[in-house]
A = this chain, B = another copy of it.
Amino acid sequence: MRDVSIIGIGQTPVGEHWQRSLRHLAYDAVAAAMKDAGIEAATAMYVGNMMSGETSGQSHLGALIADFCGLRGIEAVRVEAACGSGAAAVRVGAMAVASGLHDLVICVGVEKMTDDVGGRLTSALAQAADADYEAIHGVTFVGLNGLLMRRYMHAYGVQHEDFAGFAITAHANAAGNPNAMFRKPITLQAFKRAEMVADPINLLDSAPMADGAAAVVLCRSDMARSLNGRAVRIVGSALATDCLSIHDRYDPLWLQAAEDSARRACAQAGVGLADIDLFELHDAFTIMSALSLEAVGFAQRGKGWQLAVNGDIRPGGRIPICTMGGLKARGHPVGASGIYQMVESVQQLRGEAGACQLPRARLAMTQNIGGSGATITTHILEAR
């Protein structure tokens, strides 16, 4: 396998973009990434998107976005793995470079969620779950996560407010990120008072639906330095799956695909968890943060919530997470979130994270989750 590096990053602010359509958002991120990389062309594009068919009446985003970005004719397809589409698109892009078939590849994640003309957003999100065995019963996607959180609290004797640290840390970190949707810190009192969404998940356990796009430019590492002195290497990359239905898992409180993909990515990179300086995890709901920390191995089974309580996840802590706000406070345009995680990690590794900059950032782990853990892609990025 040829070595692959990220030589350009781009992102739109996350929020409600009433003036920008799906293709405009993607263009904004791609143009910024190409400018950052100092390139004017590429030979392939992989588009991560979950639900443009449902919310914008548009499929076929590969050709559409490549053309709209001025790259008519290049190889381009859409990659879909529900909320895990973004990192899955980067995984495919990295394979394209590794295969020797392409030297310069653009991966863009984009989602337009607020302009939901058909009122189909809730059912579109539920398509990440099993249509025939879960969604058919009327359970929503947040409802499934609510069941997981309740089970976790029961199994491990944990209170709802023990999760507060995940949301509080994310909002505190987002305050320094100009592209974050919510830049206002929140308090424990606010967390406890927040409106219920799907018991026990309340509004401040949940990442917000949003519009946004993020892009990375990939190239062969042996070309990277001459193109961009700030290149970041992808030293680990793995995608693992699990069954869609939570009831069909061996243990509903264990993200097997998080464990599998993280273990493989670490083995490729030749690093251990103690070497990781930041972990951009998939905090769509606070329960997912706890489960991810446990499955990857940063916490023991049933103890992930303690890292939120004791501050280990804060900047300067043992394993900083969601350093620029995470899904919770940067916002969660679903098909784009996996690439936002990688863009933000590159900012940290380059020392360009502004007010969010960590003092030490040499190795970053990113982990993007599709559904309730059925598709999980883990990448490890290394500063040059």
User: Is B242 a contact of A130 with CB atoms below 8 Å?
Assistant: no
The answer to whether A82 and B100 touch across the interface, beta carbons within 8 angstroms, is no
Q: For chain A residues 119-135, which have a beta carbon within 8 Å of chain B?
A: 123-124, 126-132, 135
Contacts of A54 in B (CB 8 A): 53-54
Given that A51-B59, A131-B57 are contacting pairs, would A375 and B241 also be in contact in the complex, using a CB cutoff of 8 Å?
no
**B127 A73 Cβ-Cβ under 8 A:** no
CB of A107, distance to nearest CB on chain B (Å)? 13
Instruction: Please give me the residue from chain B that is nearest to A74 by CB atom.
Output: B241
Give complex CA distance A76, B242 in Å.
10
Contact of A76 among B59, B95, B375 (CB under 8 A): B375
Residue of B nearest to A83 (CB): B60
Instruction: Specify which of B73, B128, B239 is in contact with A59 (CB 8 Å cutoff).
Output: B128
Give per-residue flags for A250-279: 1 if the beta carbon is below 8 A from chain B beta carbons, else 0. Answer: 000000110010000000000000000000
A64 within 8 A of B: yes
Knowing A51-B59, A101-B95, say if A78 contacts B81 (CB, 8 Å): yes
Query: When chains A and B are docked, how far (Å) is the Cα of A53 from the Cα of B49?
Result: 13
Chain multiplicity (copies): 2
Cα-based distance from A239 to B101 in the complex (angstroms): 11
List the B side residues contacting A62 at CB < 8 Å. Answer: 80-81, 88, 241, 375
- How far is it, in angstroms, between the C-alpha of A51 and the C-alpha of B77 when the chains are bound? 15
Contact sample, A vs B, 13 pairs, CB 8 Å cutoff: A21-B132, A51-B53, A59-B82, A60-B374, A64-B374, A67-B241, A67-B248, A74-B241, A75-B91, A77-B79, A77-B91, A77-B375, A95-B101
List A residues at the B interface (Cβ < 8 Å): 1-2, 21, 23, 50-51, 53-54, 56-64, 66-67, 72-82, 88, 91-92, 95-96, 98-101, 123-124, 126-132, 135, 238-244, 248, 256-257, 260, 370-371, 374-375
